Every structure is written in C-alpha cells, then in structure tokens.
Structure 1
Amino acid sequence: MRHPFEYEIIYSSRKTIAIQVTRDGRVLVRSPRQCSRSYIDNFVSNNENWVLKHLASVKELEEQKKSAASSHPPLSSKDRSRYIEIARDIFTRKTEYYARIIGVSYGRISIREQKTRWGSCSSKGNLNFNWRLILAPEEVLDYVVVHELAHRREMNHSKAFYAIVESVLPDYRKARRWLRDNGQLLWEKV
C-alpha cells in the first residue's frame, strides 16, 4: 500500500497502536510487537488524513519559526486563534483515544493559554489544555491528556492516580520531567 509519506515503525511492549508526527516532520507508528505489517499499514491508511494535516501543521510551524527568526514579535490574534484551532483538533482526538483506554467519560474540552497550568480537569469532567503544548514533543501531550483523564477516576495525585497514568503510559515520568525542565521554552517558541 502506498502512502503519500514515509513512516517508521517502532515495536515495543505497548498494548495499543498509535501514530506520532514529530516536530521535525517524521511519522512514527508505535506498535505492539504482535501487530502484522498489513494491520499497521491499514491503521496508517485509516489515519492518513490526520497525518497529512499534522505534517502540514509542522511545515507551517517551521515556516513561521523561520520568518520569526530570532526575534519574537507578539503573536497576532489571527496566529493565536490558528494555533488554538490546531490544538483543539489534536487534544480532541487524543482525549477521545485515551478516554476509551482508561474507560472514563469527560465533558467539554477548552483550549486556553495559561501561564501556570498545562491542563486541568473540573469535578464535572470538563478539561482545559494549554495550546502551547502543541510545541512540545508528542509524548508530553499524551502525558498531559492521560494525566487529566486519570483525574476522572482519582481527583488527587495519590499512588492510585499515578498507577492509572502508568498503566497507560509506562514512560510517563520522562514526559513529566521534560515538562518540568523545558516547559518554559514553550513560551519562547512563538
């Protein structure tokens, strides 16, 4: 099966198959070891439009970074609303995907720009995400989504809460560390 882009398969002991478009425009398919090549190929075909959309976003972000060069003029409201739309699309998709895995429901998804928070979950199950996360590595976005959805089962940061996060993302500590160490950079990128 031909695809309009190349992709790389990374096999691991994960339970689910997922596609990632990296910030440098590579398409990675993370797959359980037992998945056949034809199953993976079908999965990629079914998600082709999503991948193309994200490749276009990566290209656009790259071009914007180049044109902004090293000086960062304040974001125009038009650019900000475009980033918010891209973020809404990404977070809606990721939330649907991970909510199914965790087995929880959720309310409204809002995209914000908050200096102090990356995400939040209200007692009614409404979720907020910071649009600047789309400038972070993919696994960081996954971590924030899973973190907020885990609050639908545990409204705290107990051992039980982190056990839920870890059952979905065994490597979550790496993403959490990245956010702690590099989160500030996401305010300097655009």
Structure 2
Amino acid sequence: MNIYRNIELQKENQTLVLSVVRSARKTIGLQVCENGDAVLRIPNQLSADALQKFLDSEHAWIWKKVEQMQTRMEQRQETGAVPVGELSRDELEKIKKKIESRVNAYKKAMGVTIGWITIRNQKTRWGSCSSKGNLNFNYQLYYLPDELLDYVVIHELAHRRYMDHSKEFWAEVEKYCPDYRERRQQLKKYKLV
C-alpha cells in the first residue's frame, strides 16, 4: 500500500481531505472511516488525468458518502450505539438476547411461528422476514427506545400472516401496536447508513 498524495475537495465552505492510496486493484474505491478520514483507493496504473476526471464526475457521490458517515456518527452519539466491530462477544450476546426476548413475547401473543432469528449490521433495513419465517434484525435496534424495537418486532411478525403491506397486514400490526403510525414516524428519524 502506498499513499500517493492527499487531495482536497471543496463544497461550499467545507473541505474534505482524501488520502489517495495506489494498489494492485482494478477499480476505484472510497472508504469513509468513522473518525472522518476518507481514503480513495485507486489502481496503480491510473493516470493523474483519469483520477481528476473521476473526482470531477463523482464529486457529489463522494460528498454524499461523507455526509452518510457523519449522520451515522451523530446518530451513534445520540443513541449510544457502538460500531459492531467494537462490540465484544458478551455485548453481542446481550443484544441478541434482548431482541430475541421481545420476539418470543410477541410471537406468543400473536400466535405465529418463526424460523431463525439473526442479528446483523444491515445497511438498509431495521428488520426483515423471509417466506420461511426467518427473521433478521439490525443490531442497532438495541440502542433505540424499547417502543421502537417492539414496533419493528411486531411489524416483522405480522409478515408471518401477510407477506405484503396490505390493509390486512397493517390491521394485524395495529392489533398489537395501536400507535404504530407514530412509532413508524419516530423510527424514520433514525437513519440506517
């Protein structure tokens, strides 16, 4: 790995310093670290002109990625969520137990069966339910208010009856979470990025 140089990108009154690293790769990649560092990884053979062309054409995309990471860091400060890579095995087990206990309580109340429960670091979903009844939950739910965790659990368990978002599905959610509309709005303020 070889740091080629630092490049500054400007946007309004902000400056982003990108560390450019050349390596034996075929494509250009961007890594935005949680501490705010940004690393642009480029192929060894990429010319300075080609690099500048990439930076010009992908300027908005680079800033979008930086802003997503800033949002993630702000949200983690607000909720106390620890990056998944920094969690100990005991902490991961504690997260899994809390989510599983909520699933087990609601699956009994709702009279549904499930397959596996998996806790992940999903980038786009708080939870999901497969047609086989396997449930996936984002580990960050652990750090949100309990009523939001419960809403996501109820939502996914309602998919055990209706694998869509039909009127019947929402009526099922409402049986166990009468204020689901408010909870859904609250959940939207937390971003998965």
Q: Fold conserved (TM > 0.5)?
A: yes
Output the CA distance in 1 between the equivalents of 2:146 and 2:83. Answer: 23
Matching of residue 138 in structure 1 with residue 146 in structure 2: yes
Q: 2:133 aligns with which of 121, 125, 133?
A: 125
Q: Compute the RMSD of aligned alpha carbons.
A: 2.5
Higher relative contact order (CA 8 A, sep 6+): 1
Instruction: Read off the aligned partner of 1:172 and give its amino acid letter.
Output: Y
Aligned residue number for residue 113 of structure 1? 121
Alpha-carbon distance change, 102 to 69 in structure 1, aligned in 2, over 3 angstroms: closer
| Unaligned 5+ runs, structure 1 | 1-67
Greater Rg over alpha carbons, structure: 2
Name the structure with the higher strand share.
2
Residue 81 of structure 1 and its aligned partner are, at CA, apart by 4.2
**Please, what TM-score do these two structures have when normalized by structure 1?**
0.55
The code of the aligned residue for 2:105 comes to Y
Structure 2 Cα separation of the partners of residues 160 and 104 of structure 1: 15
Deviations 1:50-105 (A, max 9, x none): xxxxxxxxxxxxxxxxxx989x9x84735264443222101111111101111100
User: Within the alignment, does 1:92 sit opposite 2:100 as a pair?
Assistant: yes
DSSP-derived class of the 2:87 partner = helix
CA contact (8 A) 2:121 2:138 kept: yes
Q: Equivalent pairs: percent with the same residue?
A: 47
| Count of residue pairs brought into register by the alignment | 116
Instruction: Compare the two structures and name the one with the higher helix fraction.
Output: 1
Distance (Å, rounded) in 1 between the aligned partners of 2:188 and 2:146: 15
Stretch deviating more after TM superposition (82-91 or 142-151) = 82-91
SS in structure 2 at match of 1:123: coil
Structure 2, unaligned stretches of length 5 or more? 1-75
